[in-house]
Amino acid sequence: MKGLIISADGAEDRELFYPYYRLKEEGIEVEVASFSRATIRGKRNLEMEVDLTLKEVKVEDYDVLILPGGKAPGKLRQDKDVLRITQEFFREGKPIAAICHGPQIPLSAGLLKGKKATCAPSVKEELVQAGVDYQDEEVVVDGNIITSRLPKDLPAFSRELMKRLK
Amino acid sequence: MKGLIISADGAEDRELFYPYYRLKEEGIEVEVASFSRATIRGKRNLEMEVDLTLKEVKVEDYDVLILPGGKAPGKLRQDKDVLRITQEFFREGKPIAAICHGPQIPLSAGLLKGKKATCAPSVKEELVQAGVDYQDEEVVVDGNIITSRLPKDLPAFSRELMKRLK
């Protein structure tokens, strides 16, 4: 089993590192993809090495997609490779787990309309306007899409994610 | 079941947050103790709320002690409440998990001499000089003491910790 994290500079540090270490704790390989192979610097300057570029991602190599929040999703959602990758995970029924600003990515990929989801409070209105059934819960699961609001929801977010990987 | 994290300003952010969220993910309550009830600021300025002061800690309330690294253990190891708490966890056979600079605390509490342990590379010489059987491994377990070297060892550190809590 193998997980893919898509992120970029400005990521929320805890949302980037917690799932990264958590999958490894479970013995699951994890790779990080970004715009380039340059090291990602989180909002608090924690550094995460990048394994491959977005263009290099082959969805067939992975079983789960993780989308941390922070300032990264605002840029990532405009990238056509990110949208292609996210849509492909969805089509293949593989779990997509997005937290905080992360849900902006499946939203831009056209995957959230009419579905139950949550996100950071500052992103809520955008989801509501796009026809998402917004829920103010620590974690929301609709089909293969798992969403959470904030770093403090990481325990619940990860619990649901692990349930799906077992 | 309940865990206690002892830390202070200058903590290594990931070593503070990973076990905190990880125990919660497992449905285990966690409390953070420090010199005062003021919010802890990690090395990268991530903030962690404090539940109680070191003086207020009653070891009987907890099942596991976690000692993150960074700059915090250098100050904590000089505090007599920290040493009392750590010794009491040890005497009662409750797991003590220390990472990075964290092992300086059980070292100062007189609990590591003659035992196998690991720590941050910069702390290694201190352990060796004090008669610790230093091991360059991602995680080392000797009796109820679990030690690791660096943030990248958090998956192995947490895996061993969870094994002992189940």
The nearest alpha carbon in chain B to A19 belongs to B18
User: Which residue in B has a C-alpha nearest to residue A49's C-alpha?
Assistant: B152
- How wide is the angle at C-alpha B3 spanned by C-alphas A166 and B12, nearest 5°? 85
Mutation to test the B interface, candidates A12, A14, A150, A164, most B Cβ within 10 Å: A14
Q: Give the pLDDT of residue B130.
A: 97
What value of ipTM does the predicted structure carry? 0.96
Which one of B17, B24, B159 has the shortest CB-CB distance to A25? B159
Closest-CA residue to B72 (of B120, B118, B3, B137) = B120
Task: Give pLDDT tens digits along chain B (166 positions).
Answer: 999 999 999 999 999 999 999 999 999 999 999 999 999 999 999 999 999 999 999 999 999 999 999 999 999 999 999 999 999 999 999 999 999 999 999 999 999 999 999 999 999 999 999 999 999 999 999 999 999 999 999 999 999 999 999 8
Residue B35 belongs to domain with CATH number:
3.40.50.880
pLDDT of residue A106: 98
Q: Contact, A43 vs A120, CB < 8 A? A: no
**DSSP designation for B8:** -
pLDDT of residue B3: 98
In this prediction the pTM is: 0.97
Q: Give the pairing type, strands B96-99 and B64-67.
A: parallel
Q: Is residue A37 within 8 Å of A58, Cβ to Cβ?
A: no
List chain A residues with CB under 8 Å of B153: none
- ∠ CA A135-B26-A43, nearest 5°, is 60
Domain encompassing residue A125: 2-165
Q: What pLDDT is attached to residue A166?
A: 87
pLDDT in tens, chain A (166 residues): 999 999 999 999 999 999 999 999 999 999 999 999 999 999 999 999 999 999 999 999 999 999 999 999 999 999 999 999 999 999 999 999 999 999 999 999 999 999 999 999 999 999 999 999 999 999 999 999 999 999 999 999 999 999 999 8
What are the catalytic residues of B? Answer: 101
Question: Encoding tokens for residue B107?
Answer: 């070292």
Asked if A127 is an active-site residue, the reply is no
pLDDT at B166: 87
Tell if the CB–CB gap between B22 and A46 is shorter than 8 Å.
Answer: no
Task: Give residue B82's pLDDT.
Answer: 98
**Contacts for B36 with CB less than 8 Å, ≥ 6 apart:** B50, B53
Distance CA B112, CA B121 (A): 17
**Is the Cβ pair A21, B14 closer than 8 Å?**
yes
Q: How many CB atoms lie within 10 A of CB B128?
A: 11
The number of distinct structural domains making up chain A is 1
Look at residue A153 in the predicted model and tell me its pLDDT: 98
